[in-house]
Amino acid sequence: MKQKITVLGSTGSIGTNTLDVVARHPDQYEIFALSASTQVDLMLKQCAQFKPRFAVMASPAHAQQLADQLKQNGLAVQVLDAPDALETIASHPEVDAVMGAIVGAAGLAPCLAAAKAGKRLLLANKEALVVGGALFMDTVKRHGATLLPIDSEHSAIFQCLPEDSSTWGERVDCLLLTASGGPFRQRDPATLSEITPEQACTHPNFSMGRKISVDSATMMNKALEVIEARWLFDMAPEKIKVVIHPQQIVHSMVQFKDSSVLAQLGTPDMRVPIACGLAWPERIASGAPLLDFAKLAALTFEEADAKRFPGLHLSWQALRAPEGTTTVLNAANEIAVAAFLDRRLSFDRIHAVNLQTLESVQPGPVASLEDLMALDARAREQAQAIAAQWAR
Ligand code: NAD
Ligand code: MG
C-alpha cells in the first residue's frame, strides 16, 4: 500500500525538496494534498505532476486563479480555500503522513489538526512547536501521533538518541546543536546595521526561504531550534548547547553521561532529513550526493559570539520564563524579520524588537490553541508598535 501524503507549504524550499524525494519513490508514496500561500504557477505545475486530490491556496483570489488554470489544463484537482481547509487536508482520514512545511505560526493549527488525527507528522515548521510548546507535545501524545523532526539538527539528534525515549533522561548528558553561523559569522558587529535583505538571504551552504535565511543570519534560527529541541526531546534547557560548525557536515550531536559523543553526518542537503522522516525506520534514497571524505576539508568548531549574535540567548531566557514566553518571542521575531525584509527595520534592530516585546508582553493562560493564537496576536501587535519606533 502506498502512503498518502499531504504537504503543507509545498511551494517552499522544504515543500519542493519533499516532492523531489517523493517523486523518486512513486511505488511507495502518493500525494494526497498540496498547499501554498500565493504561488499559483508553481502549484499548477505540482498539481500536473503529482495529481493530488486537493490543493489549498491561502486566499479565495488565489484559489480561483488556480481553479481556472487547472480547468484549462484539464486537471481534476479540487481547490479549497476555506479558513479550515489546511486542517481538513492535514487530518483527512485517508492521509497517512503530513509534512508541516509552512513557515511561521500560521502552520500551528494544521499541524495540531494532524496530531489530533493521530497522523505521522513530519515537522519542518519549527515555529509551530516554538509557539505550541507543551500543548503541541501533549496533543501528539494524547492522540497517538508520530512526530518526526525534519529540521536537520533535530533529525540528527533523533538518529543519535537511543530508541527508548524513557532512557534519555538518565543516559544523556547534553544535546549539541550545530550552527553554521550564517553569512555574518566573521563580520564586524559594528557594521551589522548596514546589512541588506539580499545579503542576509544569501546563505553560505543552503538555499532556503527568506524568513529562515534571516533567522540563520541573526542566529535566531538556532534560538528557535533550542526551544524546538527542548520540546521534541523533553530536555531541560540547560542540557541543550550550541556550537558553531561552518561546514555543516556534522548536523548535530548527543553527548552521553560517559563522555561518549554520537554525531550524524551528511552533505548539507535537506532531502536527507526529509527522506529519513518519510521512511523512518526504513531508509530510502534521498537524491543527495554522498559525503566524499577524501575531498572533505577540515571540520571546524567554535563558540558562538554572544556580541555578534545576542538573540541566541533569548531561547534559554524564554524557556525559563513563564509558559507562553516562547510564543511571544516567536511572534516578535516574525514581525521584526518581516519589517527587515520590507526595509523598514535595520538588521541589528531585529534583536531590539525581540527583546523589548519580551519585556512588555506578559503571557496569560496557554491551555488551548485559541489561547495561543490570542497571545500570538497580542505579541504581534506590540512588536509592530516597537518596530515602528525603531523604524529607519
Ligand atoms: P519557504 O518560505 O520557502 O516556504 C514556505 C511555504 O509555506 C510556501 O509553500 C508558502 O506558500 C507557504 N506559506 C507561507 N505562509 C503561509 C501562510 N500564512 N499560510 C499558508 N501557507 C503559507 O520556507 P522554507 O524555507 O521551506 O521553510 C519552511 C519551514 O521549514 C520553516 O518553518 C523553516 O524554519 C523550516 N525549515 C526550513 C529549512 C530549509 O532548509 N529551508 C530547514 C529547516 C527547517
Ligand atoms: Mg535547522
pLDDT in tens, 35-50: 999 999 999 999 999 9
**ω before 189 within 30° of 0 (cis)?**
no
Model confidence, pTM? 0.98
- For residues 353 and 383, give the distance between their C-alpha atoms in angstroms, rounded to a whole number: 6
Confidence grade of residue 253 (pLDDT, cut at 50, 70, 90): very high
> Over the range 234-244, which residues count as b (16 or more CB within 10 Å of their CB) and which as e?
ebeeebbbbbb
Ligand 1 atom closest to Cα of residue 152: 43
More reliable by pLDDT, 204 or 288: 288
Query: Tell me, what amino acid is at 200?
Result: A
- Pick from 236-245, 302-311, 335-344: least confident: 302-311
* Parallel/antiparallel/unpaired status of strands 261-265 and 250-256: antiparallel
Assigned C-alpha cell, 321:
520564563
Does the annotation place 277 within a ligand binding site?
no
Instruction: Enumerate domains of the chain plus CATH numbers.
Output: 3-150 (3.40.50.720), 166-267+293-310 (no CATH), 321-391 (1.10.1740.10)
CA of 258 to the centre of ligand 1 (A): 38
Q: What is the pLDDT of residue 297?
A: 83
Res. 120: pLDDT tops 70: yes
In 3-state terms the chain splits into helix, strand, coil percentages (rounded to 5) of 50, 15, 35
Segment 356-390, tens digit of pLDDT: 999 999 999 999 999 999 999 999 999 999 999 99
Ligand 1 atom closest to Cα of 104? 32
What is the total residue count of the chain? 392
Nearest CA to ligand 1 atom 21: 37
Helix (H/G/I), strand (E/B), else coil: 75: coil
pLDDT value of position 153: 98
Q: Provide the CA 99 distance to its chain's centre, in angstroms.
A: 11
Q: Ligand 1 test: best mutation among 7, 8, 13, most atoms within 8 Å of CB?
A: 13
**Which amino acid belongs to residue 64?**
Q
What pLDDT, on the 0 to 100 scale, is given for residue 247?
95
User: Parallel, antiparallel, or unpaired for β 120-123 and 146-149?
Assistant: parallel
Residue 10: CB partners within 8 Å, gap ≥ 6?
A: 16, 18, 19, 34, 35, 36, 43, 46, 101
DSSP 219: T
pLDDT at position 205 over 80 = no
What's the gap in Å between 10 CA and the centre of ligand 1? 8
Pocket of ligand 1 (CB under 6 A): 9-15, 36-37, 39, 58, 101-103, 106, 124-127, 151, 206, 208-209, 212, 270
C-alpha cell of residue 292: 566524499
For the stretch 61-80, pLDDT in tens is: 999 999 999 999 999 999 99
pLDDT of amino acid 202: 87
Average pLDDT over residues 326-346: 98
Q: Which among 121, 53, 132 has a CA at the least distance from the CA of 91?
A: 121
pLDDT of residue 204: 67
153 is in an annotated binding site: yes
In tens, the pLDDT along 144-155 reads 999 999 999 999
Q: Is the pLDDT of residue 16 over 90?
A: yes
- The residue type of 24 is R
Ligand 1 centre distance from Cα of residue 37 (Å): 10
φ/ψ (deg, to 5) at 256: -100, 170
Confidence class for position 340, pLDDT limits 50, 70, 90? very high
The pLDDT assigned to 307 comes to 85
Q: Is 151 annotated as a binding residue?
A: yes
pLDDT 10s digits, 289-323: 999 999 998 999 999 988 889 999 999 999 999 99
pLDDT of residue 207: 81
User: For residue 151, which atom of ligand 1 is closest to its CA?
Assistant: 43
Q: Compute the distance from residue 125 Cα to the ligand 1 centre, in Å.
A: 7
| Separation CA 82–CA 57 (nearest Å) | 9
